[in-house]
Amino acid sequence: MTQATLCLLIRKNQDEKELLLAMKKRGFGKGKWNGVGGKENSEKGDINIVGTAIRETEEEIGVKIKKMEKVAVLTFHFPYKKDWDQDVHVFLVRDWQGEPVESGEMLPKWFKINDIPYNEMWDDDRYWLPKVLQGNKLKAKFTFCPGERVINEDIKII
């Protein structure tokens, strides 16, 4: 199973929490808002999932993570496209260096927590992301049908 990462930057702006999402400009997930991250890649020097998260965040939005917290492991099954199956390790990032910038792959944008564009994101996000933003840690499994819609979900708060 492919191992991948997803980093969600959070900041407080005028007493309101904001979440950084990025519009995927190419490849897997193109046209969707998402956190930043990607697949483990030993050719790029990845030796663990934390290193992958740090590398991908810097490559995609130019930010150097200083501190992050693992909050979820999401298992995705695509019965119609097995090579998309993956375990995604989700991290909240509250401490980083630099300002998010656009890359060839991602266009970052800050969203107020109450204005997250779930209808322009992966279908599973509406199930697990609010729980993580409320402070929960979780393990979840999602099965998708063609069109990338969730047909089965199992979320466990840990």
pLDDT digits (tens, 9 = 90+) for 62-121: 999 999 999 999 999 999 999 999 999 999 999 999 999 999 999 999 999 999 999 999
The domain that holds 33 is classified in CATH as 3.90.79.10
d(CA 56, CA 64): 10
pLDDT digits (tens, 9 = 90+) for 96-106: 999 999 999 99
CA angle at 51 for the pair 8 and 136, rounded to the nearest 5°: 35
Q: Is the pLDDT of residue 46 over 80?
A: no
26 and 104 in contact (C-beta within 8 Å)?
Answer: yes
Count of domains forming the chain: 1
The mean per-residue pLDDT over the stretch 118-136 comes to 97
Q: Please list, in sequence order, all residues whose beta carbon lies within 8 angstroms of the beta carbon of residue 113, skipping any fewer than 6 positions away.
A: 16, 17, 18, 19, 133
